[in-house]
Structure 1
Amino acid sequence: MDGPFLRADPGLGLEAPAAGTRIEHLVGGEATLPRMLADIRTVAANHREPFVYLAGWNCENDLPVPASSGRTDNLGEALRFAAGRGAQIRLLLWAGALDQASLRRFPPPVRKILLDLAARWSPTRAHNLATEALVKKLRSAGDDAWCHIDDAHLFAGSHHQKLLIVGSKERFVAYVGGIEFSTDRLYATDAAGKRIPGAPLFDVTLRVSGPGADSLLRTFTSRWSATVPPPPVPLAPLPVLRGLGAPPSPATGSLTSQVTHTYAPGFPYRAKIQTSARAIASAIRSAKQYFYMEDQYYSGTEELTNAIKDALRADKDVWGVVVIANEASVGDLPDLAYRRRLMLTPLVAAFPGRFYVFERKGDDGTNTGRTAYVHSKLTIVDDVTAVVGSVNSSYRSWTHDTEVMLTVHDPRGAGPVNPPDWRPIRGLRAEIWRRHLGAPAATLGDPALLRRWWLDVWIRARAAHVAPSAVFVPAKPAFGPLSDWVWTNFLDPRVP
């Protein structure tokens, strides 16, 4: 099997790797959200039987998005436009609510902690319910529009997939990554003018066409069919949905791809599905030169720790770099500093000069300025493999919630080191490292040259938009004697 792919397993919804996928990397909400809206409007205006399928954790349909015309657009207006031209609209959104029946089982002190933490989700719930109301209004006007608010998940869980698939029978594209219609991807303040630390967030999404888009479409439609209660709500009769024997979309690129998932047992499928965790670990273990990761939390799992150890022990010349959200900007996960150190301090100590962990600095050089909060969920290996999607490096994302990842691999190899001849995965990595390191274009194509840059930043001999993480600065657990219970059962729940 070419690349770090997993063996197909239909019982887990895991398809075989498929050749011919094309990706376009989009860094930041300013690049991604206008492109999404333009695709919705273009397809609806120019193609027969268009459709728009969206799965999201947080969906602000009225978020003002700067458009190329100099005006602003928003998802709600784009959906109205598409629906008015006969598009089939389907949205899967998280309910954003805590299971009250389960909550009542806990003693009052624990219940208070959990309710205080769950209050952080309330804006998400309000946004998603407002989007549901918009879609209901479209349906009441006779449009083919449906939105399902999904609250079927394990206690303290969420539906975290971020997918947009838009197109028609003739062609369609898919978006997968960390970016969705959320204020903090575009603006430094919320609607009330309150500052959002680290925003706009540093984030990455891929725009995908070809067989990889087919698989992402099947992810959405399979979950829709398994989740939406009777009576059935129809989906577009697209050829790629007619079974495994259907011909794939024409090859549009040179990459081989595979889509993986996280689903808790029973939500919505009978078996637990943890193929995304395996895909990330497989990519890291495939490293021959380096592996690179970006992550929002990076509190880790035992499997992730073992994959890093295996890669670094297998070859003394392999090295790894991780860039994570600045702790000063992360206010949504108490106890993160302590949990990060439990994982990272031993790893950094065990592999000096070969495993580096950095926190992003804001564009203004501060710990809470623009882009200090890294939200990407990204692994790149040797400039030939990338894994991008919604999965954080935590037990929650690897085992418990609803997630999706796309692995892409270039079977031709890393390719030329000089721009503009970079192959897709090298181009993605170079663009991200340019933003973090500020290195000149002449050096960006060769990871070996930039290894010294990362070392210089680590020893503080060079300035950059990243700084060494404080993994050797002690941190205390946030909830005293209850910390382990709150972390394991609520903040970072896990499924064995």
Structure 2
Amino acid sequence: MEEPFLPADPSSGLDAPAAGTRIEHLVGGEAALPRMLADIRAAANHPEPFVYLAGWNCENDLPVPTASGRTDNLGEALRFAADKGAQIRLLLWAGALDQTTLRRFPPRVRQILLDLAARWGPTRAHNLATEALVKKLRADGHDAWCHIDDAHLFAGSHHQKLLIVGSKQRFVAYVGGIEFSTDRLYATDAAGKRLPGAPLFDVTVRVDGPGADSLLRTFTSRWRATVPPPAVPLAPLPALRGLSVPPSPAAGPLTSQVTHTYAPGFPYPAKIQTSARAIAAAIRSAKQYFYMEDQYYSGTEELTKAIKDALRANPDLWGVVVMANEASVGDLPDLAYRRRLMLTPLVAAFPNRFWVFERTGDDGTTTGRTAYVHSKLTIVDDVTAVVGSVNSSYRSWTHDTEVMLTVHDPRGAGPANPPGWRPIRRMRAEIWRRHLGAPPAVLGDPAALRRWWFDVWTRARAAHVAPSAVFVPAKPAFGPLSDWVWTNFLDPRVP
């Protein structure tokens, strides 16, 4: 069985694949966020606890319903942990354009970019509010620090979504698409404005064992490369506790590897694009099927080539993509046109073998609850999964700050009956149950489900996904400026 891993490369922060990882998949903010808060509070009861978080958007006051019936939030959990002696470190995106660079553009282009950048405004406000909370913890004498990171390429972002929490005795990590954001839990914002497609359909995994070690190194390495020493009169920050934890013992049956995207100079000297290679390697390793979920799925040449190579090499192989419904995506103009540039030729080239769907809401509409898919996920043959923050776009594959976890089950896919499902099959089955409504007896058999996907594609069967209108033409959003706006701002790239 081919394992979809990359050769270790210490110069790019790429660890060798490591056996012994355990994952628990969490679908939706209602499953993931209470678990994260519970882990933060539990860690505080152990010696030398720490809480490390890297985020794109972080709302510390987001009310999170818990199993007890009460609500919790990140700010209260961090205060609880800090009071118990936890070391708190946050890396959050600044969420702002470089105004000096922006002034160099002609007025018409500048206004387009400003209008688009206004969509980032709430993210910046949320992250600055979280920084203020952490500053208060530090002022109260706690070992707490939040760094607002504005060092990236023009129009770039720091998009990693990581939480590492525990102590020197034991810790766990979370990686995926879910973070402390209103649209992961609620259909409206704080002002009561409806959020199309929210709560978002999203996936994160809780990681234990050597995979968590690699995710911890992702955070500590970026912190040390990014955060300058505090200015006088602040006292020097204590050393990161996570640097001195012993290797985690084996916790599960999976082999894992963590990969990244970093632009050159931010924060490392050379570009790092190992996540793109990991996703392509997973697709090329497919023997039966490959499945992808993505927010945008506007594609890259490398992704298109990997899909073509895999489907041409194996006439029995088939693939499915589930994307956010275009009617729910208000944060990326020109998406419909860009999706079609990639997907229309692929679907036409591989009829009845490559199907592309958009999620419909729980109410069956294009903007109802969960119509907006936010997951960044690839699953292959029920034995390999790649999950993290990387969208299928040039921005995520080459330009921004990203992280992905690849896990592989060397034992194979395992039994088709639900009681014997292995971790990757269990994750895929739950996700497909939500999309297709298929019963457990069918969900364990991808071959049988190929017919289900075909029936949904031909509209012979109803589901919570619908065929994407890839053969319906779409026009570029900005006329003659569209290609420039797309390649330089909306989906920038590093060769």
Bin of the TM-score, shorter chain as denominator length: over 0.9
State the identity %: 89
What TM-score does the superposition give when structure 1 sets the normalisation length?
A: 0.98
Which secondary structure does the structure 1 equivalent of 2:328 belong to? coil
User: How far did residue 233 of structure 1 move?
Assistant: 3.3
State yes or no: 1:236 paired with 2:240.
Answer: yes
Which secondary structure does the structure 1 equivalent of 2:420 belong to? coil
CA–CA distance in 2 between the matches of 1:33 and 1:319? 34
CA–CA distance in 2 between the matches of 1:382 and 1:162? 26
| Aligned AA (2:412) | G
CA–CA distance in 2 between the matches of 1:411 and 1:253? 12
Alignment of 1:169-248 (within 5 A): 169-231=168-230, 233-238=237-242, 241=243, 248=247
User: How far did residue 235 of structure 1 move?
Assistant: 3.7
Hey, what does 2:309 align to over in structure 1? 310
Alignment of 1:415-454 (within 5 A): 415-454=414-453
User: How far did residue 248 of structure 1 move?
Assistant: 2.4
Hey, what does 1:353 align to over in structure 2? 352
State yes or no: 1:38 paired with 2:38.
Answer: yes
Hey, what does 1:117 align to over in structure 2? 116
User: How far did residue 352 of structure 1 move?
Assistant: 0.1
Which secondary structure does the structure 1 equivalent of 2:5 belong to? coil
Which secondary structure does the structure 1 equivalent of 2:407 belong to? strand
Hey, what does 2:17 align to over in structure 1? 17
User: How far did residue 453 of structure 1 move?
Assistant: 0.1
Which secondary structure does the structure 1 equivalent of 2:278 belong to? helix
Q: Is the 8 A contact 2:28 2:200 kept in 1?
A: yes
Q: Is the 8 A contact 1:2 1:411 kept in 2?
A: no
- Aligned residues, how many? 490
Q: Is the 8 A contact 2:292 2:322 kept in 1?
A: yes
CA–CA distance in 2 between the matches of 1:105 and 1:382? 49
Hey, what does 2:233 align to over in structure 1? none
Q: Is the 8 A contact 1:221 1:235 kept in 2?
A: no
Q: Is the 8 A contact 2:292 2:377 kept in 1?
A: yes
Structure 1, 393-402 or 222-231: larger mean CA deviation = 222-231
Gaps of 5+ in 1: none
Gaps of 5+ in 2: 231-235
User: How far did residue 254 of structure 1 move?
Assistant: 0.2
What are the superposed Cα offsets for residues 269-308 of structure 1, whole Å, 9 maximum, x if unpaired? 0000000000000000000000000000000000000000
Q: Is the 8 A contact 2:87 2:241 kept in 1?
A: no
Hey, what does 2:389 align to over in structure 1? 390
| Aligned AA (1:9) | D
Alignment of 1:249-264 (within 5 A): 249-264=248-263
Structure 1, 341-350 or 99-108: larger mean CA deviation = 99-108
| Aligned AA (1:32) | A
User: How far did residue 2 of structure 1 move?
Assistant: 5.9
Structure 1, 464-473 or 247-256: larger mean CA deviation = 247-256
Hey, what does 1:363 align to over in structure 2? 362
Hey, what does 1:98 align to over in structure 2? 97
User: How far did residue 67 of structure 1 move?
Assistant: 1.1
User: How far did residue 225 of structure 1 move?
Assistant: 0.2
| Aligned AA (2:16) | A
| Aligned AA (1:319) | W
Q: Is the 8 A contact 1:363 1:465 kept in 2?
A: yes
CA–CA distance in 2 between the matches of 1:237 and 1:93? 19
Hey, what does 1:402 align to over in structure 2? 401
CA–CA distance in 2 between the matches of 1:247 and 1:153? 32
CA–CA distance in 1 between the matches of 2:373 and 2:21? 27
CA–CA distance in 2 between the matches of 1:112 and 1:229? 34
User: How far did residue 221 of structure 1 move?
Assistant: 0.3
CA–CA distance in 2 between the matches of 1:105 and 1:10? 38
| Aligned AA (2:452) | W
CA–CA distance in 2 between the matches of 1:116 and 1:125? 15
User: How far did residue 43 of structure 1 move?
Assistant: 1.2
CA–CA distance in 2 between the matches of 1:235 and 1:193? 43
CA–CA distance in 1 between the matches of 2:418 and 2:161? 31
Hey, what does 1:465 align to over in structure 2? 464
Which secondary structure does the structure 2 equivalent of 1:328 belong to? helix
